[in-house]
Amino acid sequence: MAHQINGGIVSKPTPRVVDFTSSTASIGVELEMIITNLPDCKDHFKLFEEAFIPLTSELFPNKSFPRSEEPFQIKDDFSIIPGPRFPRARRVEVATPVMTGDGSQFSYHSIIPKMCTTITSTLPMDASIEFNHTTALQVHIGVGDGNTYCLRDLKRICKAIIIFEDHMDTLHPNCRNPPDNANPNLLRRCCASFRLKLLSDTKRLDAIDKQQNAAGLVMLMNSCVGMRDLPKYYKYNLRSLEKFGTVEFRQAVGTVRSEVIVGWIETVIRFVSAAVGTEDEVYKRWAEGGAIGDEDYERFGAPLISVDRDIDSWWGVRNFGDA
């Protein structure tokens, strides 16, 4: 793989128009969690780092890595707020190496279940893994093969976000859908960004079309006023393009249920694939009020979870009373 989502860029991705599919995508996952009841003498970072050594050896036999470039990065994240329910908790984020959508050993279908098993089998008996409204499952989607999105494809992804953002919200529990004026877990809507919130969908698409480069799209979709370091905290984060050549989907709630993580990755890949494969004239028609058919929602991955299902149960969300 030509670049890493964690551990630094190996080579600068090259923009190109892509026939984007599951098998050509590059995928990275960052999973945030809370560890409770771990003895004070236990270094939780070292505990997880050692636990992932066998999986790293399986994926990269006979290869050693500096600690800062280990394929599975174990990190702290101050956006994780344990809250009063977990007074002696530890914050942990596990980030994967770049994964693929093909049938290789680097496929997310193979790595994610092994990652979840490693996490759940690592802790001492009395310790536990917990999640709340601040713990996220963040998925990076890249083009793969050392490439990154061309401007046309990025514009189409941005247009898909404008058209489908509210509908995609229905795939997530309420704890990951905070109101725009009350954002305890730093999840901002792109449609409510400083430069877009007062515009109609048609005007928003016009603003996207006027951008001359990826940096302009980032400032348009992830704009923020008065909060210097917070623009990346949008549900759809384009700022990851600058470092990794990826679009980051930040809205999902943390879980160690591998089938849920895999299912969400597949939904996100479908969304990106449909976004870059939809003609600009279609987005314009939808923005002007044209009907979006059931087959279009299906193509973008929206019906993966029906709106009449118990979304909290699907994600495994329990009562986040300290939210």
Q: pLDDT band at 148, cuts 50/70/90?
A: confident
* pLDDT at residue 98, rounded to an integer: 94
pTM: 0.90
State the pLDDT at residue 229. Answer: 46
Segments forming the whole domain that contains residue 125: 14-301
| Per-residue pLDDT at 186 exceeds 50 | yes
Instruction: Please check whether residue 306 lies inside any domain of the structure.
Output: no
Residue 272, number of CB atoms within 10 A of its CB: 27
CA distance 287 to 163: 7
Q: Which residues make beta-bridge pairs with 173?
A: none
Let me know if residue 6 belongs to a domain: no
122 contacts 48 by C-beta, under 8 angstroms? yes
* Confidence class for position 230, pLDDT limits 50, 70, 90: low
Q: Is residue 51 part of a domain?
A: yes
2 within a domain of the structure (yes/no):
no
Residue 290 lies in a domain: yes
178/305: higher pLDDT: 178
List Cβ neighbours of 117 (8 Å cut-off, separation of 6 or more).
258
315 occurs within a structural domain: no
Please tell me whether residue 93 adopts helix, strand or coil conformation: strand
Identify whether 123 is part of a domain.
yes
Q: How far apart are the first and last CA of the chain?
A: 39
How many structural domains compose the chain? 1
Distances (CA, A) of 290 to 37, 55, 157, 233, 299: 54, 49, 19, 31, 17
